[in-house]
Amino acid sequence: MSVLSVRTREKRDVQGLSRVYFSCHPDDFKDYFDVICEDIFRTQNCAIYYESEWEVPAGERELEELLASMQLFVIPLTNRYLEEESRSINREYVFAMEQHIPVLPIAVEPGLESKFSARFNQIREGYGEIQILNRCSADDTEIPYEKKLADYLSHILAGDELARQIRAAFDAYIFLSYRKKDRAYAKELMNIIHRIPFCRKMAIWYDEYLVPGESWSQNIVNAIVKSALVVLAVTPSITEKENYVVEHEYPEALAQGKSVIPAEMLPVDPGMIRQLFPGMMDMIDCHDSEKFAEVLKGSLKQLVKEKSEDSPEHNFLIGLAYLSGIDMERDPDMALTLITDAADAGLLEAMDKLGVMYLKGQGVAVDYKEALKWFSRAAEKGYSWSMYHMGEMYYDGKGVSRSYDTARMLFSKAAGQGNQAAMYEIGLMDQERQNLYCQAREGDTEAAMLLKILFGKKS
Stated as kind and residue range, the H or E segment containing 7 is strand 5-8
Q: Mean per-residue pLDDT for 183-208? A: 88
Return the pLDDT at 59: 47
Task: Place 359 in a pLDDT band, splitting at 50, 70 and 90.
Answer: very high
**pLDDT tens-digit readout, 403-426:** 888 999 999 999 999 999 999 889
The phi and psi torsions of 234 (rounded to 5 degrees) equal -100, 120
Predicted model pTM: 0.84
Return the pLDDT at 313: 96
* pLDDT at 195 exceeding the cut of 60: yes
Class of domain 5-157: alpha beta
Return the pLDDT at 220: 86
Q: Pick the residue with more confidence: 260 or 160? A: 260
Task: Place 303 in a pLDDT band, splitting at 50, 70 and 90.
Answer: low
Report the largest interatomic distance among the alpha carbons of the chain, rounded to a whole angstrom.
89
Return the pLDDT at 209: 44
* pLDDT at 212 exceeding the cut of 70: no
Return the pLDDT at 43: 92
Q: Tell me how far the alpha carbon of residue 411 is from its chain's centroid.
A: 27
* pLDDT at 451 exceeding the cut of 80: no
Return the pLDDT at 433: 76
User: What CA–CA distance (Å, rounded) separates 392 from 373?
Assistant: 14
Third-level CATH fold of 346-438: 1.25.40
| CATH 3.40.50.720 is the classification of domain 172-305 | no
Task: Place 214 in a pLDDT band, splitting at 50, 70 and 90.
Answer: very low
* pLDDT at 375 exceeding the cut of 50: yes
Considering 5-19, 61-75, 286-300, the range whose residues carry the highest mean pLDDT is: 286-300
**Please, what is the average pLDDT of the chain?**
89
Return the pLDDT at 213: 43
Q: Please report, for the chain, the start and end positions of each structural domain, with discontinuous segments joined by +.
A: 5-157, 172-305, 346-438
Task: Place 436 in a pLDDT band, splitting at 50, 70 and 90.
Answer: confident
Length of the chain: 459
Q: What percent of the chain stands above pLDDT 70?
A: 92
Q: Which of 170, 172, 182 is nearest to 263 (CA)?
A: 182
Q: Is 324 exposed, middle or buried (0-12, 13-18, 19+ CB in 10 A)?
A: buried
* pLDDT at 138 exceeding the cut of 80: no
User: What CA–CA distance (Å, rounded) separates 89 from 202?
Assistant: 37
Residue 301's alpha-carbon distances to 129, 189, 263, 445, in angstroms, are 50, 20, 18, 75
**pLDDT tens-digit readout, 37-70:** 999 999 999 999 998 765 544 446 778 888 998 9
Q: Do domains 5-157 and 172-305 have the same CATH topology?
A: yes
Q: Which of 173, 193, 190 is nearest to 303 (CA)?
A: 173
Q: Mean per-residue pLDDT for 6-30? A: 89
Return the pLDDT at 208: 58
Q: Mean per-residue pLDDT for 311-329? A: 92
* pLDDT at 458 exceeding the cut of 70: no
Q: What percent of the chain stands above pLDDT 90?
A: 65
DSSP 131: P
